[in-house]
Amino acid sequence: MDYNKTPDVTSLDEDLKQLRLSKFSEDAIGSIKMWIFKSVLNDEVDAGKSLLELLKDGTVLCKLANKLNEVDSPNTTLIKWKESKMPFIQMEQISQFLSFARAYGVPEDELFQTIDLYEEKDPASVYQTLKSLSRYANKKHPDIFPVLGPQIATKRPRPPVKAKPKHLQEGWSTMEYGYMKGASQKTEGVVFGNRRDIL
């Protein structure tokens, strides 16, 4: 028996990860990359690196947050960041970006965890967060930031319900609820608790 052979069966976590990743094609990931570097940061895109490699140290994410913050409210304090090889600094910078995204309006269920990006545990959730961030940036400044995917739907008020006519407002109405011609359990032969004659 060969114990070094990989099993034919995958875990549920692996299957779900593959399913989420299948939602993001190379073109979709490329459009997220272009949104960050061209549309928001006005910077050059490093074509030799993947999007996750570019985001891993947190510096690009902090620059992105600062740029969105500057447009939104110019007098706010910017996120401090620095290029570093130290893992805890990189993870702290990712965490700062996530705090910004949460405050910017991105829902909690659309935010990735720091480890999803840093250890590439769940790249699809990273892409989803960035797509969601683009929607909120577009909602606040549609003339500056393009949107990735569909825009945020605006909630419309429920249409007003017409008031009942006067003759229907005073309680039970046979016109509204129907008329049973005096039917009751007794007249319809409904029997509770007694024996039924089934012959």
Per-residue model confidence as pLDDT tens digits over 155-179 = 888 888 888 777 667 766 665 566 6
Average of per-residue pLDDT across 125-133: 92
Q: Which one has a higher pLDDT value, 116 or 9?
A: 116
CA gap 55, 61 in Å, rounded: 6
Question: In this structure, are residues 104 and 135 in contact, taking their beta carbons and an 8 Å threshold?
Answer: no
CA gap 81, 91 in Å, rounded: 11
Tokens of 173: 């109405």
Compute, in degrees rounded to 10, the torsion defined by CA atoms 179, 185, 188, 190.
150
Give how far Cα 159 sits from Cα of 50, 123, 126, 163, 169, Å. Answer: 48, 42, 38, 13, 21
Average of per-residue pLDDT across 171-199: 64
CA gap 135, 148 in Å, rounded: 7
Instruction: Please tell me what DSSP assigns to residue 109.
Output: G
pLDDT above 70: residue 181: no
Average of per-residue pLDDT across 43-49: 82
Q: Which one has a higher pLDDT value, 10 or 129?
A: 129
CA gap 149, 172 in Å, rounded: 51
Supply the pLDDT for residue 3.
Answer: 63
Q: Give φ, ψ of 142 to 5 degrees.
A: -65, -25
For the chain, which domains are there?
Answer: 12-140 (1.10.418.10)
**pLDDT tens per residue across span 69-112:** 888 777 777 888 888 889 899 999 999 999 999 999 999 999 99
Mean pLDDT of the chain: 82
Give how far Cα 173 sits from Cα of 113, 156, 161, 182, Å. Answer: 58, 33, 19, 14
CA gap 142, 146 in Å, rounded: 7
Residue 89, classed as helix, strand or coil, is helix
Tokens of 108: 């909690």
CA gap 91, 136 in Å, rounded: 24
